[in-house]
Amino acid sequence: MNLPDLAIYGATGHSGRLIVQRAIDRGLRPVIAGRNEDAIRSMASGYGLAWKLAHVHEPNSLHRLTAGAKVLVNAAGPFATTAGPLMEACVATGTHYLDITGDSATIEPTAQWHDRAVFNKVMLMPAAGFDVVASDCLLAHVAQLLPGANSLKLGFDKSEPTSTGSLKTILEMGGQGVRVRRNGRLVSVAPGSLVHAFDYGRGPQLSLAVNLGDTSSAFFSTGIGNIETYMRASVQVWSAMTANQYWGWLLATPPWQAALKAQMKLFARDPSPRESSAAWGILVAEARDASGRCARSRLHTGDVYWFTALSAVAVTEKCLAGEWKPGFQTPSRVYGPDFALSLDGARRVDF
């Protein structure tokens, strides 16, 4: 019997379900896996798919999962908890590893696995979702427009509410500073201390520096050592930044982390199908050089969660077709700055 090409871990979450649906649409029959047996079994029955129970604290179950597939997509956050054990299993079994994190704290340690992955002839590509496929490709594009650029800035705006899984990751970052890249090194600055105006298509909009994965991925993709990432200063972003600025030390304590997660559904929900069909995401990238010259570009997409499914499955298909490079990789470094434009609904404007 032929082994399945794809395994999806965390398949029952919002993004995981979208990835499963996209994979099926593309003719793949993934094995779905996760920690909740009832949820996995029910979903597998509905789609007619094989399923496996696996837990990050049980290495043998992860090895059984990864050994049975050519590519693993990890859609289970928080990725600070799940990425390491799953990457270890993938490297051991010769399975390409993808995930959909958007956090530099998860991307950065992946570089330490590079030599082992090269030796075992597998690719490790964290952040194969909206962030950082769309953003990494856009930042690589402006870096090409301005040879000699020494700094990059990225702005992000979107229409959708924050999904439950994304909020879980945000909550675990309570009490941390905002990570930026300075002269090649990741450093932390105080929440709310960096602001920048980006034109998302409606004139300059005030944006606040936040933790996004591009402070790591763009560094590896472009070699540019000064990188900052921002989100438009919506009420939600202002509120989260203010809470972290003044109460982060308290929110980081175990009792508050537990209380916040228990109340998580009051603060976030997964977007409805109607919201997703009308949703949009906008990224703006700026590259500057020492003389002050600037190159700017804007990328428009549809629903960022659906874009994540499109990009994760597109990278999977490329891996299965033999289009991959061994070791730790970023999207634009393997597939080029125009890769994001190959995904439905993406369009780029230089300005």
Read off the pTM.
Answer: 0.89
Residue 253 shares a structural domain with residue 140: yes
Do 73 and 183 reside in the same domain of the chain?
Answer: no
121 and 41 in a common domain:
yes
Q: Are residues 140 and 102 in the same domain?
A: no
Tokens read off for 254: 């175990």
CA distance 69 to 227: 36
143 within some domain: yes
Is 340 within a domain?
A: no
**What pLDDT digit, counting tens, does each position of 279-300 carry?**
999 999 999 999 999 999 999 9
Q: Does 73 share its domain with 88?
A: yes
Does a structural domain hold residue 338? no
Please report the pLDDT score of residue 165 as a whole number. 47
Same domain, 77 and 106: yes
139 and 180 housed in the same domain:
yes
- Asked if residue 268 and residue 164 are part of one domain, the reply reads yes
Q: Which structure tokens are listed for 280?
A: 């949009």
In a domain, 337, yes or no: no
Domain membership of residue 341 (yes or no) is no
Asked if residue 342 is part of any domain, the answer here is: no
Clarify whether residues 276 and 312 are in a common domain: no
Q: What is the CATH number of the domain that holds 90?
A: 3.40.50.720
| Domain assignment of residue 348, yes or no | no
Q: Are 340 and 282 in contact (CB under 8 A)?
A: no
Q: Do residues 97 and 72 lie in contact, with contact meaning Cβ atoms separated by under 8 Å?
A: yes
Tell me how far apart the alpha carbons of residues 174 and 328 are, in angstroms, rounded to a whole number. Answer: 28
Range of the domain at 317: 6-128+306-331
For 54, other C-beta atoms within 10 Å of its C-beta total 25
pLDDT along the chain (351 residues), means of 10: 80 97 97 97 97 96 96 95 97 98 94 97 98 97 98 92 51 69 96 93 94 96 97 69 53 55 53 68 98 98 97 98 98 98 97 96
Question: Do 292 and 156 sit in the same domain of this protein?
Answer: yes
Q: Are residues 239 and 159 in the same domain?
A: yes
CA atoms within 13 A on the CB side of 90: 35
- CATH number, domain with residue 294: 3.30.360.10
pLDDT in tens, 165-189: 444 445 444 567 889 999 999 999 9
Instruction: Work out how many domains the chain is built from and give that number.
Output: 2
Task: Report pLDDT for 234.
Answer: 73
Q: Are residues 42 and 182 in the same domain?
A: no
Residue type, 284: V
304, 283 Cβ separation under 8 angstroms: no
Phi, psi torsion values for 186, nearest 5 degrees: -80, 125
Count of C-beta atoms within a 10 Å radius of residue 91: 19
